């Protein structure tokens, strides 16, 4: 079986381990700033979660919070993306353009350079959009240091052209910093023509974060699908990565449906283009709410191979991370077809005990919600995001369903 989140190889780990040093070299801090760093990380975490109502648009313009972001939050985002990006069928050729919304310190660009070394020698155009001037400038300096640390094979100058644009994506559309009219702003992003890849990492949760009504979530998803596909070419792809929480899973499910209507089929993690069996939301599990109701599509993987310095800083800030979690969707044009072979089951949940004895894990398939059951050791060994084929599990000739969830029962062959 294969998985989306394979452990990074030695070279990716080597570069990720070097990132804290590159940040220190690019943005040195005094001893007092260094001593206050764990507290600044904790405060920034609060502003990004429970204290988001207190957060100002210019929060990363504060030197201490920018330092905390570059030394903790950016490296964790890099780690997550470097676990994900190698598995995606991202098709870029010389001259291709990429638009990255909410780029922060060019996190996606950095992650592509680290995790997809075959792209380093290609002349690519990147348009990176964020509302903060300080964080964009920081990203450009860090990328320059990274490209020197691990240059393209054969050496030579970096062939990637990176253009930064200040602005944000929201419910009112694509806006320049400070609000105002977007006239003349969209053309700045289209300068290189339609993009081959349009990305938004940890962007849309700012828009739907306080939404409690499903119909409002659907409207946000429909807007977002039109927004993203509007900047990509007919053969372009879309990548959206969001926090691995229930609200994000609900948004990803709605976005998936909206993108299908726009002619973009799910390429990953979905093993099919049918109805999503993980609609998320607060509904009760089981047949009363329909199979998958109350569950959400997300993936978790351990962080034992994350940079040691990063894990140390997180622990010092009172934010230890033993697992990384995310929800995502990678979609492409209809002619791209589906990445996984058919039939297939994408494993979504952690392992949990079943009342009747064996252990189980929920999965997504063209037949809807699936419950894969087997002995505990075999079920727990399946990595999150694994793709199971007919050779890995078997279904009874007469379909059986789990009485609690309504999921189709299949047995793991171990």
298 in Cβ contact with 325 (< 8 Å): yes
Give the model confidence (pLDDT) of 248-262 as tens digits: 999 999 999 999 999
pTM: 0.91
Q: Which of 217-221, 260-264, 336-340 has the highest mean pLDDT?
A: 260-264
pLDDT at 376: 93
What is the mean predicted confidence (pLDDT) over 215-244?
A: 90
Q: Was domain 2-336 assigned CATH 3.30.390.50?
A: no
pLDDT at 340: 52
Nearest to 386 by CA among 301, 272, 304, 306: 301
244 in Cβ contact with 326 (< 8 Å): yes
- d(Cα 327, Cα 348) in Å, to the nearest integer? 10
The yes-or-no verdict on residue 397 having pLDDT over 70 is yes
What is the mean predicted confidence (pLDDT) over 79-108?
A: 95
Show the tokens assigned to 180.
């105002």
Q: Which residue has the higher pLDDT, 63 or 207?
A: 63
The yes-or-no verdict on residue 129 having pLDDT over 90 is yes
Q: Which residue has the higher pLDDT, 180 or 307?
A: 307
Show the tokens assigned to 104.
């922060």
- d(Cα 45, Cα 41) in Å, to the nearest integer? 6
pLDDT at 175: 45
CB atoms within 10 A of CB 346: 25
pLDDT averaged over the chain? Answer: 86
Cite the beta strand spans of 137-279 per DSSP E.
Answer: 161-166, 168-170, 173-175, 195-201, 232-243, 264-268
Q: How many residues does the chain have?
A: 414
Lowest mean pLDDT among 29-38, 48-57, 331-340, 369-378: 331-340
Q: Which of 164-178, 203-217, 393-407 has the highest mean pLDDT?
A: 393-407
- d(Cα 45, Cα 82) in Å, to the nearest integer? 22
pLDDT at 288: 38
The yes-or-no verdict on residue 181 having pLDDT over 50 is no
Q: Which residue has the higher pLDDT, 201 or 169?
A: 201
pLDDT at 357: 80
pLDDT at 294: 57
In the numeric block, the tokens 């009342």 are attached to 355
What is the mean predicted confidence (pLDDT) over 377-398?
A: 89
The domain limits of the chain are 2-336, 345-412
3 state SS of 386: strand
Instruction: Supply angle C-alpha 22, 324, 145, rounded to 5.
Output: 15
Q: Which residue has the higher pLDDT, 174 or 278?
A: 278
In the numeric block, the tokens 């999921």 are attached to 407
State the burial class of residue 318 (Cβ atoms within 10 Å of its Cβ: 0-12, 13-18, 19+).
Answer: exposed
């Amino acid at each position: 079986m294969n998985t989306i989140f394979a452990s990074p190889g030695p070279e990716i780990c080597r570069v990720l381990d070097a990132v804290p040093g590159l940040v220190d070299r690019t943005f040195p801090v005094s001893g007092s700033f260094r001593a206050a760093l764990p507290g600044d990380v904790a405060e920034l975490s609060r502003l990004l979660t429970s204290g988001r109502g207190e957060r100002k648009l210019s929060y990363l313009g504060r030197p201490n919070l920018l330092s905390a972001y570059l030394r903790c939050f950016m490296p964790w985002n890099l780690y997550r993306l470097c676990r994900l990006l190698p598995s995606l069928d991202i098709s870029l050729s010389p001259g291709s353009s990429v638009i990255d919304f909410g780029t922060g310190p060019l996190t996606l660009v950095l992650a592509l350079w680290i995790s997809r070394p075959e792209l380093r020698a290609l002349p690519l155009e990147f348009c990176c959009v964020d509302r903060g001037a300080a964080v964009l400038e920081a990203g450009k300096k860090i990328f320059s240091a990274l490209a020197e640390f691990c240059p393209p094979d054969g050496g030579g100058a970096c062939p990637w052209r990176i253009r930064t644009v200040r602005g944000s994506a929201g419910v009112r559309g694509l806006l320049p910093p400070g609000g105002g009219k977007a006239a003349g702003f969209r053309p700045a992003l289209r300068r290189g023509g339609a993009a081959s890849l349009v990305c938004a990492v940890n962007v849309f949760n700012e828009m739907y974060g306080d939404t409690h009504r499903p119909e409002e979530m659907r409207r946000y998803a429909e807007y977002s699908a039109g927004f993203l596909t509007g900047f990509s070419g007919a053969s372009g792809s879309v990548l959206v990565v969001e926090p691995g929480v229930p609200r994000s899973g609900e948004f990803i499910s709605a976005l998936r449906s909206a993108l299908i209507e726009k002619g973009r089929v799910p390429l990953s993690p979905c093993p099919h283009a049918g109805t999503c069996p993980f609609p998320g939301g607060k509904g009760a599990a089981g047949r009363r709410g329909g199979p998958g109701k109350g569950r959400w599509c997300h993936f978790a993987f351990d962080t034992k191979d994350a940079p040691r310095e990063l894990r140390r800083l997180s622990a010092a800030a009172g934010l230890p991370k033993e697992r990384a979690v995310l929800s995502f969707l990678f979609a492409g044009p209809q002619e791209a077809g589906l990445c996984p072979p058919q039939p297939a089951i994408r494993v979504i949940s952690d392992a949990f005990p079943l009342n009747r004895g064996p252990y189980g894990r929920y999965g997504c398939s063209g037949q809807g919600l699936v419950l894969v059951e087997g002995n505990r050791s075999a079920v727990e060994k399946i990595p999150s995001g694994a793709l199971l084929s007919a050779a890995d599990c078997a279904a009874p000739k007469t379909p059986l369903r789990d009485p609690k969830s309504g999921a189709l029962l299949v047995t793991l062959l171990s």
